[in-house]
Amino acid sequence: MDYYEILDVPKSASKEDIKKAFRAKARQLHPDVNKAPDAEERFKELGRAYETLMDEGKRALYDQYGEDGLKNAGFSNGPFDFGFGDISDIFASFFGGMGGFSSGYAQDVNVPVRGSDLRLDIELEFEQAVFGVEKEIKIDHLEPCEECDATGTDKSATETVCKTCRGQGRVQQSTQTILGNFTSVTTCPTCKGTGKDPGSQCRKCKGLGAVSCEKTIKIKIPQGVDSGSKIRIANEGDCGRNGGRPGDLYVVLFVKSSDTFEREGYDLYSEAEISMPQAVLGDTIIVKTIDGEQELHIPRSTQNLDRLTLKGLGVPHLGGQGQRGNQYVTIKILTPKKLSQEEESLWDSLLELEGKGDNKQKDNLAYLKGIKRAFKR
């Protein structure tokens, strides 16, 4: 689904071009005018395209990464959509005081409504992300009001229905415009959408049937997560209305960096320092891994910045059956800054030995002399 194709505009289109295109297409596609079976879905797609391309930040993400970029940034039409949640809102905001078409999207105030999804960002230590952890978190959310049994109505009230909207929670207004006759469906100004007489509303929840409160829950974070990972916890969002089910809680993870390791996917990268004799002759050294200290074999003739592998000592795969990445250790060879007389004598002997060899050894001779000069500075 290409948003520019939906609106029939080029990628260079200005906001004014997009508005004009939306105005023309909306009149054609609205389900109250267009009776085609797919009219409603096409109208929703039109609204999503308009909403995205009119927002500079979302448009930039979409142009570079497409719909996946919007979803990863939390702009999907799912749990993290905090903008126009309903396509009818987009249409109403576009036409302003003229209103929208007669909306098939306006909900009856008394039907069950699912609760809103919530988002919580939490920070993890590097090791917690690698091996997983159980955390206790606090969230603010809406719970059913116990004072009125979630009805939003004072139990002692006799007159409960709003007289303005007759309990519907919304009112309609018809307007003649250049595009034809439009009907605007808006929230009732008297009861604020509850459908209840203001005098009969529960004083604790003010007619909403729900109150804000804090609760503590335990969540299990699996091994192998990384920054940007999202965990869905069903039914831990806001409570629903009129018997609707609760929303979900989405936990977004951010992982602290490590002083020892760099992470790329499931692989870890670190560094280790060795002396020149160790590099030449080989050795076994102790290095840090995410599991603790481990032995690492240094082969003979190891070169500076060579990378050695510790298989299976990387990050456990998320949801994997014991699979893990690797740890890659970059070797850094240390050159001593000062030499004792005995050490200098040994280097002199090595220089002489190198000087008697073949051309390759003579090349090494120049290198060794350079090292010796560096020691004497």
| Cα–Cα distance for residue pair 340/129, rounded to 1 Å | 47
**Res. 142 pLDDT band, cuts 50 70 90:** very high
Last residue in a domain, options 83, 104, 125: 104
Task: Give yes or no for a contact between 233 and 248, defined as CB atoms under 8 angstroms apart.
Answer: yes
Residue 123 counted as domain residue: no
The reply to whether 28 and 70 lie within a common domain is yes
130: in domain: no
Q: Is residue 126 in some structural domain?
A: no
CA 69 vs. chain centroid, Å, equals 10
Residue 211 near residue 127, CB atoms below 8 Å: no
Instruction: Quote the DSSP letter at residue 128.
Output: H
pLDDT of residue 93: 47
For the CA atoms of the chain, what is the radius of gyration?
34
Query: Does the pLDDT at position 63 exceed 90?
Result: no
In this structure, are strands 267-275 and 327-334 parallel, antiparallel, or unpaired? parallel
Q: Are residues 2 and 75 in the same domain?
A: yes
Distances (CA, A) of 354 to 12, 279, 363, 365, 366: 68, 17, 9, 6, 9
Contacts for 268 with CB less than 8 Å, ≥ 6 apart: 261, 262, 289, 290, 313, 314, 315, 325, 326, 327, 328
- Cβ(132)–Cβ(205) under 8 Å? no
Of residues 111, 119, 100, the one with CA closest to residue 47: 100
**Domain for residue 297, yes or no?**
yes
Bridge partners (DSSP) listed for residue 267: 264
d(CA 59, CA 69): 10
Take residue 249 and report the two structure tokens written for it.
Answer: 């809680």
What is the band of 96 on the pLDDT scale with cuts at 50, 70, 90?
very low
Let me know whether 9 and 75 are in one domain.
yes
Query: Nearest Cα to 215, choosing from 81, 118, 133, 132?
Result: 118
| CA proximity to 84, closest of 109, 58, 121, 114 | 58
Q: Say yes or no: 366 and 296 in one domain.
A: no
4 lies in the same domain as 96: yes
Clarify whether residues 98 and 4 are in a common domain.
yes
CATH of the domain at 262: 2.60.260.20
Q: What is the pLDDT of residues 299-327, one digit of tens each?
A: 999 999 999 999 999 999 988 778 999 99
| Mean pLDDT, residues 164-180 taken together | 74
pTM above 0.85, yes or no: no
Same domain, yes or no: 44 and 91: yes
Alpha carbons 302 and 298: distance in angstroms, whole number: 7
State whether 311 and 343 are in the same domain: no
Residue-wise pLDDT for 212-269, tens only, equals 999 999 999 999 999 999 999 999 999 998 889 999 999 999 999 999 999 999 999 9
Distance CA 170, CA 194 (A): 9
Domain boundary among 63, 83, 104: 104
Residue 217 lies in a domain: no
Mean pLDDT calculated for residue range 130-148:
94
8-state DSSP, 314: S
Classify residue 11 as exposed, middle or buried by CB count within 10 Å of its CB (0-12, 13-18, 19+): exposed
Would you say residue 66 lies in a domain?
A: yes
Would you list the DSSP string of 47-97?
A: HHHHHHHTSHHHHHHHHHHHHHHHHHTT-SSSTT--S--SHHHHHHHHHGG
Residue 27: CATH number of its domain: 1.10.287.110
176 has pLDDT over 70: no
Counting beta carbons within 10 angstroms of the beta carbon of residue 157, is it exposed (0 to 12), middle (13 to 18) or buried (19 or more)? middle
**Are 319 and 347 members of one domain?**
no
Residue-level pLDDT at 104: 42
> When comparing pLDDT for 27 and 71, which is higher?
27
Determine the pLDDT at residue 253. 95
Residues 36 and 1 in one domain: yes
Q: Does residue 329 share a domain with residue 354?
A: no
Residues 289 and 345 in one domain: no
Question: CA–CA distance from 257 to each of 128, 177, 250, 261, 290 (Å)?
Answer: 11, 58, 23, 8, 13
Highest-confidence range of 23-27, 108-112, 242-246, 279-283, by mean pLDDT?
A: 279-283
**pLDDT tens, residue by residue, 265-302:** 999 999 999 999 999 999 999 999 999 999 999 999 99
Among 334, 351, 367, the domain-final residue is 334
| pLDDT value of residue 78 | 41
Domains of the chain: total: 3
195 domain residue, yes or no: no
Domain span holding position 279: 258-334
Average pLDDT, the chain: 81
Alpha helices in the chain (DSSP H): 3-7, 15-29, 39-53, 56-72, 87-95, 126-131, 276-281, 341-355, 359-376
In a domain, 286, yes or no: yes
